[in-house]
């Protein structure tokens, strides 16, 4: 009965989501491949000669978080076949960039029983790794039927989700009982999973993998090339509005209008989703600001705003910016990764809507490495920071210290995954006897 109800609700959700999916990605060449794989077609039949590890990550942030772990897996388990799935197109693109060692990068099929049964018969994973909060009943259930070990990595659960699961224990029991290890970010999440009936012996606190995420550093010549594309000279400071959502570009536009010539600052806007590039360009045009779309031409020194309408550049831009305003937090989205700019000595500002990233907010406040700013005070705060070199340097140094003090989640997670690799039958013969396995 549970399987039938799950299939019904997932099917209804998929049908309702398809029109929006087609509209958002109608011009994306990956659309036919994505749809085919979401329906369970196009998956390879993997041989049983070596262990098969399936890593599932929802989107860009989760892919970046598990990238170091996935790379280590390929290095230390040389006979391993690594399959990575994502839900979003942007996540799929990020996986190709961040996990080039993966043997297969695909889209997660709809979690409907007959689709997952067909896919799992072809893949037959020895180990299934799921990230953060993405629980799919048939994915985990069919993997377990095939003899796989299942681990949740970088796991978390919000207070709101925990309350909902508590009201429907028959759902939480079926979702969580077949997971072998819960590798969680913090003690708060441990308490919530324990309250939902997860046995304590299945839980380990390994920290947040996103704190171990490393962005490839640019050489000095690469930095100069990027500055040239953005139209930034040595005398001009850069403020990047990162991962913007509807309503947040207006904050950047208002700031650009308020800045005077003496402040010599350039605004860089990086929308979160590529399908909004045209919309944001229209808003800039309507505002009457001089702006450049980086996909079309390099910006000139007099250009007020640069619209980054290409994916994959944000990590590089963080390395040359003076202030990072991390968005998704000035509207009720829940926030994005405010830690990502910090290794580059960049002061970070973010909004009050950080309910999806509580641990990052607490860390930033504890280390005084980031400033939570009210929407109406953002322009004033940015302008004050632009004028205060000492304050920017203090915030930047605090951010670097935060990152250095809180790394190590990848190593802890790897140590907990090793027993599951050994339990995977043929897998144990493929693990190299490195220091981490002794």
| Domain spans, the chain | 31-207+408-437, 220-405
Residue with tokens 């006897």: 433
- What's the pLDDT band for 427 if we cut at 50, 70, 90? very low
Phi-psi region of 42 (alpha: psi -120 to 50; beta: other; left: phi over 0): left
Beta strand ranges found along 22-70 (DSSP E) = 52-56
Active site residue 297: no
CA 203/CA 184 separation, integer angstroms: 7
Q: Which H or E run includes 269?
A: strand 265-271
Neighbour-count burial for 32-68, b at 16+ CB within 10 Å, e otherwise: ebbbebbbbebbeebeeebbbbbbbbbbbbbbbbbbb
Over residues 44-54, mean pLDDT: 84
Are the CB atoms for 256 and 353 separated by under 8 Å? no
CB atoms within 10 A of CB 190: 19
Percent of the chain at pLDDT > 70 equals 95
289: tokens are: 């600001």
What band does 49 get if pLDDT is binned at 50, 70 and 90?
confident
Q: How far apart are the first and last CA of the chain?
A: 46
Instruction: Quickly name the fold that domain 31-207+408-437 has.
Output: Rossmann fold (3.40.50)
Catalytic residue among 49, 62, 190, 261: 62
Q: What angle do CA 288, 291, 294 make, to 5 degrees?
A: 155
Confidence of residue 435 (pLDDT cuts 50, 70, 90): very low
Domains 31-207+408-437 and 220-405 share a fold: yes
- Of the candidate CATH numbers 3.40.50.300, 2.40.50.140, 3.40.50.10470, 3.40.50.2000, the domain formed by 220-405 belongs to 3.40.50.2000
């Amino acid at each position: 009965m549970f399987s039938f109800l799950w299939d019904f609700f997932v099917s209804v959700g998929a049908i309702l989501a398809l029109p929006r999916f087609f509209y958002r990605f109608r011009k994306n060449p990956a659309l036919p491949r994505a749809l085919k794989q979401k329906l369970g077609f196009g998956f390879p039949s993997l041989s049983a000669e070596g262990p098969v590890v399936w890593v599932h990550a929802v989107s860009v942030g989760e892919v970046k978080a598990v990238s170091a772990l996935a790379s280590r897996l390929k290095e230390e388990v040389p006979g391993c076949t690594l399959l990575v799935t994502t839900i979003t197109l942007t996540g799929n693109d990020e996986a190709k960039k961040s996990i080039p060692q993966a043997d297969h990068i695909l889209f997660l099929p709809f979690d409907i029983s007959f689709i997952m049964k067909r896919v799992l018969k072809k893949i037959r994973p020895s180990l299934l790794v799921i990230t953060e909060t993405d629980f799919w009943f048939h994915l985990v259930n069919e993997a377990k039927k095939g003899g796989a070990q299942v681990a949740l990595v970088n796991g978390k659960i919000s207070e709101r989700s925990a309350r909902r699961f508590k009201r429907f224990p028959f759902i939480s029991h079926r979702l969580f009982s077949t997971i072998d290890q819960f590798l969680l970010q913090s003690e708060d999440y441990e308490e919530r999973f324990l309250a939902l009936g997860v046995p304590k012996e299945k839980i380990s606190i390994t920290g947040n993998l996103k704190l171990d995420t490393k962005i490839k550093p640019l050489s000095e010549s690469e930095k100069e090339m990027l500055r040239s594309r953005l139209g930034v000279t040595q005398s001009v400071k850069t403020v990047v509005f990162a991962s913007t959502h509807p309503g947040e570009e207006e904050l950047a536009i208002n700031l650009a209008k308020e800045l005077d010539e003496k402040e010599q600052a350039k605004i860089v806007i990086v929308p979160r989703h590529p399908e909004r590039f045209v919309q944001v360009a229209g808003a800039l045009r309507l505002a009457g600001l001089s702006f450049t779309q980086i996909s079309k031409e390099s910006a000139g020194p007099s250009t007020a705003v640069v619209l980054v309408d290409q994916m994959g550049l944000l990590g590089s831009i963080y390395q040359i910016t003076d202030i990072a305003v991390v968005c998704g937090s000035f509207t009720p989205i829940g926030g994005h990764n405010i830690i990502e700019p910090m290794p580059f000595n960049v002061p970070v500002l973010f909004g009050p809507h950080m309910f999806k990233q509580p641990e990052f907010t607490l860390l930033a406040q504890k280390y005084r490495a980031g400033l939570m700013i009210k929407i109406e005070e953002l322009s004033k705060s940015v302008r004050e920071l632009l004028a205060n070199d000492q304050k920017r340097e203090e915030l930047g140094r605090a951010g670097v210290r935060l990152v250095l003090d809180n790394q190590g989640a990848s190593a802890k997670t790897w140590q907990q995954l090793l027993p599951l690799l050994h339990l995977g039958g043929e897998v144990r013969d493929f693990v190299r006897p490195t220091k981490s396995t002794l």
